[in-house]
Amino acid sequence: MSQDPWLQNYDATCRLAQETAENIHERNRQQRTGGNPAKINMTLRASLQKLKQNIAQLKEGLLRASSSRRLMQSEADRRQNLIDDLLTREKQLNATLKGDFMESEPSRSMLMGSGAGSSGGVVANPWLVNESEETTGLTFGQIKQQQQRIIEVQDAGLDALAAVISRQKIMGQDIGNELEEQNEIIDDLTHLVDKTDDRIRNETRRVKLVETKSTSCEHVFGLWEEAGEPGENPRRHGENMQTPHRKATGRSLTHH
């Protein structure tokens, strides 16, 4: 699900305000070291003008969303508070940009203070307070390099995670392909079993049919034998008729 365009614009505006604060810090450093901040001053003015325009767009977008009742009242109030914070930061940035840094050796701790006014009429930068020990004594460029190294380490971790996910994806695809092959084999076996079952049923019907016919033939032959003449063997009858004749001939020969 994509993020709300209003929230995306708000995030971009916050990043612009942060970059502007960092550039003001760099401008102040150049002023302290005798550098020429003319170029960075032009960039700061353009950034503050862009910041003002972005805040105005956020106000208009919130007004349209509230009028069309696309937002709940609680969310509309929350966004209005965010806009108010941005307006306060814009004013503070403008005041910091217009501050007169003419002290010979202004301390870094004054700029990084917790909100108390510094000497010489300098307005403390509200975006750069409570500096950590890791960045104390570092220039803007060094801090930027440190952040870049941290980002590179995070990117390396993300690359390693992406490689692991890629391997898992390949393994999942291989498992899916293997399952498809096994399913095809099972389908083939099922088909063969069905064909074999059909053949067995057909052969069973044929055997039953042969048994039925065999039983009928045995019954017919049994009736035939019980009837007698229809089942009498002609050769056997002839033999019975000839046997007395042969005996008579033998007796006549003995008599002569």
Tens of pLDDT, residue by residue over 129-154, are 455 666 666 677 777 787 888 888 88
Answer whether residue 197 is part of any domain. no
pLDDT for the residue 253? 39
Rounded distance between C-alpha atoms, residue 59 and residue 250, angstroms: 150
Among 88-92, 171-175, 229-233, which stretch is predicted with the lowest mean pLDDT? Answer: 229-233
pLDDT band with cut points at 50, 70 and 90 for residue 172: very high
Q: Please indicate, yes or no, if residue 61 is contained in any of the structural domains.
A: yes
Asked if the structure places residue 39 within a domain, the reply is yes
Question: How many domains does the chain contain in total?
Answer: 1
Percent of the chain with pLDDT over 90: 20
Question: What does 119-165 look like in DSSP terms, one character per residue?
Answer: GGGPPP-TTS-S--TTTTT--HHHHHHHHHHHHHHHHHHHHHHHHHH
pLDDT score of 105: 37
pLDDT of residue 240 exceeding 80, the answer is no
Residue 9 in any domain: the answer is: yes
pLDDT of residue 226 exceeding 70, the answer is: no
Residue 17: CATH number of its domain: 1.20.58
Asked whether the predicted pLDDT for residue 232 surpasses 80, the reply is no
Higher per-residue confidence, 127 vs 150: 150
Cα torsion for 107, 109, 127, 74, to the nearest 10°?
Answer: -150
56 within domain boundaries: yes
Q: In this structure, are residues 120 and 100 in contact, taking their beta carbons and an 8 Å threshold? A: yes
> What are the tens digits of pLDDT across the range 105-116?
333 443 444 343
pLDDT, the chain, mean: 75
Q: In Å, what is the CA distance from 22 to each residue of 34, 40, 125?
A: 18, 11, 9
| Residue 186 clears pLDDT 90, i.e. is over it | yes
| Residue-number span of the structural domain to which 79 is assigned | 1-102
**What is residue 212's predicted lDDT score, i.e. its pLDDT?**
85
Position 124 pLDDT exceeds 60: no
What separation in angstroms does the CA of 249 have from each of 6, 48, 105, 235, 243? 141, 157, 171, 21, 10
Confidence class for position 118, pLDDT limits 50, 70, 90: very low
Q: What tokens were used for 193?
A: 């079993």
**Residue 38 belongs to a domain:** yes
Contact between 26 and 140 under an 8 Å Cβ cutoff? The reply is yes
- Encode pLDDT of 9-53 as tens digits: 999 999 999 998 988 888 888 878 877 778 888 888 888 999 999
Q: Which residue did the predictor score with more confidence, 177 or 224?
A: 177
pTM (2 decimals)? 0.39
Pick the closest to residue 61 from 45, 75, 47 (CA basis). 75
Would 74 be classed as within a structural domain? yes
For 79, residues 6+ apart whose C-beta sits below 8 A from its C-beta are 6, 10, 58, 62, 71
CB 43 within 8 A of CB 23: yes
DSSP 232: -
Q: Is the pLDDT of residue 63 over 50?
A: yes
Least confident of 5-9, 58-62, 160-164, 222-226: 222-226
pLDDT of residue 225: 67
Residue 84 inside a domain? The answer is: yes
